[in-house]
Amino acid sequence: MNCIKTDIEGVVIIEPHVFKDARGYFFESYSKREFDEKVRPVDFVQDNESCSTKGVMRGLHFQRPPFSQSKLVRCVKGAVLDVAVDIRKGSPTYGKHVAVELTEDNHRQFFIPKGFAHGFAVLSDVAVFQYKCDEFYHPEADGGISILDDSLGIDWCIDYMEAILSEKDTKHPMLKDFDSPFDINIDLYKK
């Protein structure tokens, strides 16, 4: 796999080595050994999948400590714009984001560490989205910032007026009104 560093340390785009022939293609979507060596050691404990239609926006979500999550995400059908926003107090990149288009054709994956809010927008008619998490889902630890916050400077590639959001996602605070539970000086990878 090829790991592409981004402008925010720890946020990584992963391109697998895809082997194609007349029958189709094959690639390793995840190898713990290679991931631990090239990205960071992570013990994923839960896999999730969602299916959404064009214009759906999900996010920007995170789980509060001590249940914070790292995620390894990919789009197995269709296309999404996937985004990670740094919400670690004291971080030189606080409030900055990394965006990457994940598609069934480019097979890219995106690693979002703990201390980041995550969201995506569906660009294709339908998108099937998969993600690995290193912590189980804890609804009592749910958190979020508004996916529609213009101060984040995210070009979601879809019209806000046509976006389809859950009721929960319409109620998250703007970044300026947000009190982050994450701190750049705390090692979020200690259990």
Active-site residues, by number, are 61, 131
Q: Which string of DSSP letters, residue by residue, matches 122-146? A: E-SSEEEEEEEESS---GGGEEE--
Tokens matching residue 41: 């050691």
Q: Which of 9, 22, 3 is nearest to 113 (CA)?
A: 9
Q: Quote the CA–CA distance of 156 and 97 in Å, as a whole number.
A: 12
Tokens matching residue 51: 């299916």
Q: Quote the CA–CA distance of 133 and 112 in Å, as a whole number.
A: 10
The CA–CA distances, whole Å, from 141 to 57, 59, 168 equal: 21, 15, 14
